[in-house]
């Protein structure tokens, strides 16, 4: 058997050479090949094209896979024994000629979305346990040239910052070791721009996302050959895995997409694939909500919740979410130093219980949601008193404590803990089936290594088993409550990853709700995640994190580019602010399908520091679009670029209507029509300042334009 395996999507092709007794090799990944071109491919030169290089027979080269066999041998050889193609899935089975170890490489093709998912199954047929020390999901050689990397870094309140850099010789490692959450700092997604610094709407780009919620490692190694070697993996550090006889280890998937339409082109592929196959309820419009956190923090009480529900209902909102602070009996949750684990209502704060809250939500005609942090406990809690053995801590040592000086992480590798976590949601939903939404938080990393459940021999399984336990629990919840909306929150944007999103409807982008900084964070987030999944809330000023005061219109215009919500105490808002929000919610309902299901075209990046940022969403039929334009700084007599639009139909005529207008006079373009060609080749002049009445002028300017084809 010597076969050329060709994987086609609508616009891309991947070719692998699969020959029995040899290592499978990449031959091509790029724009779609014609039949003729497929027959006449040149074999790549001066690179190691192995699809899954194993360690031991060419030690200096980076490997995707390394293990210690039962007899102590550290080397592995993996040669093709079988090829199986069924429907969208291709399986290539590799075996070691000396040891009964097999590795199956999977490739799954998503035609329309130009996506190829790849992952690996490692099977131990040896008589005794073997130890896996490296177990990448995939490896991909990328031809050198002027290849640039786009990736994301950050921290709490500053998530998903975009960084763009050329790939130079040496090794670049992007990783996470948080243990519970994995997207505050580095992100498990990267793009490679193959022809110089990435452009939004032109150029060849490969995007890769490791669909995993735990510790990860993305490595790009550039040596003396003609290729960069990309590896995406569960982070193997302190995670060697003992695979018993007869067991199979399945790696997480990597989703790969190639586009000739630049960075935004790859983003659109990920958004489509994500909405259709990954994200929970990716085809269902999201409700407009008010979350209580920045409005009242821990100061929860029945009257206060009723008032907030009334206020959001009066502004047109559809859902109210009660955040932290509602629970604890023996230890009521007053601040962040107690009660996690005790998921019973604090009757002093809420004498009518959750029943009372649901009653009030019904009275106001909105839905009700609730905050929980199920994977955690405080040492000050009834749960900890009953089950000190359920927490993660190093053997023979005191637990290292987190938030509030008392927080601990529950050991999700323990099936009893999984049952408990499941029961938190199950109890709430059994008693109160009208609960519509759960905000699932996770506010602590694994600080100390140790499971009280795993054997001493298998302590190195902790990180992996934690995430298996989390996933199993999520699967159980979804099997029983398929319609529930669940937000993934983790001290803000700690869980923006494609590992958890099959079980969650959205994620909280950041605890930082400052509109200006959100432009940067949401920009980075949008590379791999669709707007429908990005919770984006209007909050008070001075902002509670950065203390900046921006205009209400600006805050609205930024929040409306994602899944719109509010994070504010409405009773402190002026009538004028309430009127602006009421109008914005009405306008958002009109554009919600375009923002939440449309194609994203990023136009001007805030990271390019030209004084503004701009992007647009276009519906599938190219008949409706929403254009966002935000100034990122303000100077007198400044010069801002005119923004060329993208993604429209050149031959259609689009009528312009400004949303969220505060100016006394409409813009000169209001109600006028322009051809798609003109809008994309030239663009519109947007006045640099909003011009409301004098007393309302400020230095924050933004515009939202609705374009409708005639
Ligand atoms: C985390 C979340 C916030 C809020 C608090 C509650 O920080 O990111 O949105 O829910 O916890 O304690």
- Chain centre to alpha carbon of residue 693: 41
Topology (CATH level 3) of domain 602-709: Immunoglobulin-like (2.60.40)
Long-range contact list for 516-521, CB < 8 A, 24+ apart? 516/548, 516/550, 516/554, 516/558, 516/632, 517/158, 517/546, 518/558, 518/559, 519/558, 519/606, 519/613, 519/630, 519/632, 520/161, 520/162, 520/606, 520/607, 521/154, 521/158, 521/159, 521/160, 521/161, 521/493
The two structure tokens encoding residue 705: 């334009």
| Average pLDDT score over residue span 155-183 | 98
Segment 215-229 shows an average pLDDT of 98
Question: Does residue 617 sit in helix, strand or coil?
Answer: strand
Ligand 1 close to Cβ of residue 110 (< 6 A): no
Q: Is the CB of 488 under 6 A from ligand 1?
A: no
Find out whether 411 and 466 touch, Cβ atoms under 8 Å.
Answer: yes
Query: For position 468, what pLDDT does the model report?
Result: 98
How far apart are alpha carbons 285 and 597 in whole angstroms?
8
Q: Mind listing the pLDDT tens digit for each residue in 54-63?
A: 999 999 999 9
Confidence of residue 68 (pLDDT cuts 50, 70, 90): very high
pLDDT at 2 over 70: no
Which residues are 444's β-sheet partners? none
Backbone angles phi, psi at 493, to 5 degrees: -90, 40
Name the pTM for this structure: 0.98
Q: What is the DSSP string of 91-113?
A: EEEEE-SSS-EEEEEEEEEETTT
* Angle in degrees, CA 484, 486, 491, rounded to 5: 165
Beta bridge partners of 709: 654
Q: Round to whole Å and give the CA distance between 240 and 458.
A: 9
Query: Residue 299 contacts by C-beta under 8 Å, 6 or more apart in sequence?
Result: 325
CA-nearest residue, atom 11 of ligand 1: 491
pLDDT computed for residue 658 by the predictor: 98
CATH 2.70.98.60 in the chain: give the residue spans.
3-278
pLDDT in tens, 637-653: 999 999 999 999 999 99
**Phi and psi, residue 673, nearest 5°:** -115, 145
Across the beta sheet with 25-31, what order do the strands follow? 2-8, 12-19, 25-31
- Tell me the DSSP string of 451-479: -SSS-GGGGGGHHHHHHHHHHHHHHHHHH
For ligand 1, whether the C-beta of 293 sits within 6 Å is yes
Helix (H) or strand (E) holding 138: strand 130-143
pLDDT at site 601 = 98
Whole-number Å distance between alpha carbons of 507 and 48: 39
Whole-angstrom distance, CA of residue 20 vs CA of residue 83: 9
Say which CATH class 289-597 falls into.
Answer: alpha beta
Does 411 contact ligand 1 (Cβ within 6 A)?
no
| Tokens encoding 598 | 């449309």
Encode pLDDT of 86-123 as tens digits: 999 999 999 999 999 999 999 999 999 999 999 999 99
Half-sphere exposure of residue 380: CA atoms within 13 angstroms, side-chain side: 17
pLDDT tens, 308-321? 999 999 999 999 99
Spatial distance between the Cα atoms of 508 and 324, rounded to a whole number of angstroms: 15
Q: What is the mean pLDDT of the chain?
A: 98
Task: Calculate how far, in angstroms, residue 372's C-alpha sits from the geometric centre of ligand 1.
Answer: 10
> What would the pLDDT profile of 239-283 be if each residue is shown by its tens digit?
999 999 999 999 999 999 999 999 999 999 999 999 999 999 999
For the CA of 336, the closest atom of ligand 1 is 12
Q: What is the pLDDT of residues 515-534, one digit of tens each?
A: 999 999 999 999 999 999 99
Which helix (H) or strand (E) covers residue 707, if one does?
Answer: strand 702-709
Q: How far is the CA of 326 from the centre of ligand 1 (A)?
A: 13
Please tell me if the CB atom of residue 323 comes closer than 6 angstroms to any atom of ligand 1: yes
Contact of 121 with 248, CB cutoff 8 Å: yes
Three-state SS across 153-173?
EEECCEEEEEEEEECCCEEEE
d(CA 292, CA 540): 12
Q: Give the distance (Å) from ligand 1 centre to CA of residue 570.
A: 19
50 secondary structure, DSSP code = B
Q: Is 492 in the pocket of ligand 1 (CB under 6 A)?
A: yes
pLDDT tens, 361-397? Answer: 999 999 999 999 999 999 999 999 999 999 999 999 9
Pocket perturbation via mutation, ligand 1, pick of 489, 493, 567 by most ligand atoms within 8 A of CB = 489
Q: What is the pLDDT of residue 1?
A: 59
Tens of pLDDT, residue by residue over 448-481, are 999 999 999 999 999 999 999 999 999 999 999 9
CA-CA distances (angstroms) from residue 80 to 97, 104, 123, 465, 556?
10, 9, 15, 30, 56
Question: Which regions of the chain carry the CATH code 2.60.40.1180?
Answer: 602-709
Cα(492) to ligand 1 centroid in Å equals: 7
Give pLDDT, residue 415. 98
**Rounded Cα–Cα distance for residues 390 and 399 (Å):** 12
Residue 368, classified by CB atoms within 10 Å of its CB into exposed (0-12), middle (13-18) or buried (19+), is buried
pLDDT in tens, 617-633: 999 999 999 999 999 99
Place domain 3-278 in its CATH homologous superfamily. alpha-galactosidase from lactobacil brevis (2.70.98.60)
Q: What angle do CA 273, 275, 278 make, to 5 degrees?
A: 75
The finding on whether 443 has its CB within 6 A of some atom of ligand 1 is yes
The ranges of the chain annotated as CATH 3.20.20.70 are 289-597
The C-alpha atoms of residue 75 and residue 68 are separated, in whole angstroms, by 7
pLDDT, tens only, 530-583: 999 999 999 999 999 999 999 999 999 999 999 999 999 999 999 999 999 999
């Amino acid at each position: 058997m010597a076969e050329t395996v060709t994987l086609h999507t609508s616009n891309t092709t991947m070719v692998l050479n699969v020959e029995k007794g040899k290592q499978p090799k990449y031959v091509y990944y790029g724009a779609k090949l014609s039949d003729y071109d497929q027959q006449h491919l040149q074999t790549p030169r001066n690179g190691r094209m192995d699809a899954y290089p194993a360690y031991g027979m060419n030690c200096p080269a980076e490997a995707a896979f390394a293990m210690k066999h039962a007899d102590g041998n550290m080397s592995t050889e993996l040669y093709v024994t079988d090829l199986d193609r069924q429907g969208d899935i291709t399986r290539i089975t590799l075996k070691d000629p000396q040891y009964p170890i097999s590795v199956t490489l999977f490739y799954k093709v998503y035609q329309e979305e130009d996506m190829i998912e790849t992952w690996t199954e490692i099977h131990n047929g040896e008589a005794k346990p073997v130890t896996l020390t490296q177990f990448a999901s995939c490896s991909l050689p990328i031809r050198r040239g002027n290849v640039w990397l786009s990736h994301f870094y950050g921290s709490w309140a500053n998530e998903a910052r975009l960084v763009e850099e050329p790939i130079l010789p040496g090794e670049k490692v992007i990783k996470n070791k948080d243990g519970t959450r994995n997207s505050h700092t580095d992100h498990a997604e990267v793009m490679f721009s193959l022809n110089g610094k990435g452009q939004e709407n032109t150029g060849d780009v490969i995007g890769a996302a490791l669909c995993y919620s735990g510790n990860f490692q993305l490595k790009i190694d550039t040596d003396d050959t003609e290729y960069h070697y990309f590896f995406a993996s569960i982070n193997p550090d302190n995670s060697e895995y003992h695979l018993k006889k007869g067991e199979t280890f399945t790696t997480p998937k990597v989703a790969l997409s190639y586009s000739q339409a630049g960075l935004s082109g790859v983003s659109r592929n990920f958004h489509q694939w994500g909405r259709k196959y990954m994200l929970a309820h990716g085809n269902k419009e999201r409700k407009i909500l008010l979350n209580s956190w920045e409005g009242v923090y821990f100061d929860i009480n029945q009257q206060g919740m009723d008032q907030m529900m009334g206020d959001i209902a009066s502004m047109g909102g559809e859902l109210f979410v009660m955040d932290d602070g509602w629970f604890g009996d023996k230890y009521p949750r007053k601040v962040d130093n107690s009660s996690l684990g005790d998921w019973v209502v604090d009757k002093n704060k809420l004498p009518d219980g959750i029943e009372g809250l649901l009653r009030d939500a019904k009275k106001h005609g909105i839905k009700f949601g609730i905050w929980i942090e199920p994977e955690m406990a405080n040492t000050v809690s009834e749960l900890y008193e009953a089950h000190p053995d359920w927490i993660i801590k190093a053997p023979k040592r005191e637990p290292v404590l987190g938030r509030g000086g008392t927080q601990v992480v529950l050991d999700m590798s323990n099936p009893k803990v999984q049952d408990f976590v499941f029961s938190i949601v199950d109890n709430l939903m059994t008693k109160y089936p009208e609960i519509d939404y759960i905000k699932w938080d996770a506010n602590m990393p694994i600080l100390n290594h140790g499971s009280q459940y795993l054997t001493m021999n298998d302590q190195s399984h902790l990180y992996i088993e934690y995430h298996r336990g989390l996933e199993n629990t999520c699967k159980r919840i979804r099997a029983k409550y398929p319609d529930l909306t669940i937000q993934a929150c983790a001290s803000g944007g700690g869980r923006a990853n494609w590992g958890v999103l099959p079980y969650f409807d959205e994620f909280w982008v950041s605890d930082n709700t400052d509109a200006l900084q959100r432009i940067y964070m949401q920009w980075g987030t949008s590379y791999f995640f669709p707007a429908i999944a990005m919770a984006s809330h209007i909050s008070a000023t001075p902002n509670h994190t950065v203390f900046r005061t921006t205009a209400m219109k600006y805050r609205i215009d930024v929040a409306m580019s994602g899944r719109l919500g509010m994070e504010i105490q409405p009773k402190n808002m002026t009538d004028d602010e309430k009127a602006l929000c009421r109008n914005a919610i009405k306008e958002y309902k009109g554009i919600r399908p375009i923002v939440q299901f449309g194609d994203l075209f990023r136009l001007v990046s805030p990271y390019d520091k030209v004084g503004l940022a701009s992007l647009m969403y276009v519906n599938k039929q190219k008949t409706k679009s929403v254009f966002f334009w935000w100034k990122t700084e303000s100077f007198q007599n400044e010069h801002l670029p005119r923004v060329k639009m993208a993604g429209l139909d050149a031959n259609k005529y689009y009528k312009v209507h400004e949303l969220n207008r505060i100016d006394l006079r409409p813009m000169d373009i209001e109600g006028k029509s322009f051809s798609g060609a003109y809008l994309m080749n030239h663009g519109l002049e947007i006045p640099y300042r909003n011009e409301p009445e004098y007393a309302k002028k400020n230095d924050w300017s933004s515009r939202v334009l609705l374009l409708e084809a005639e």
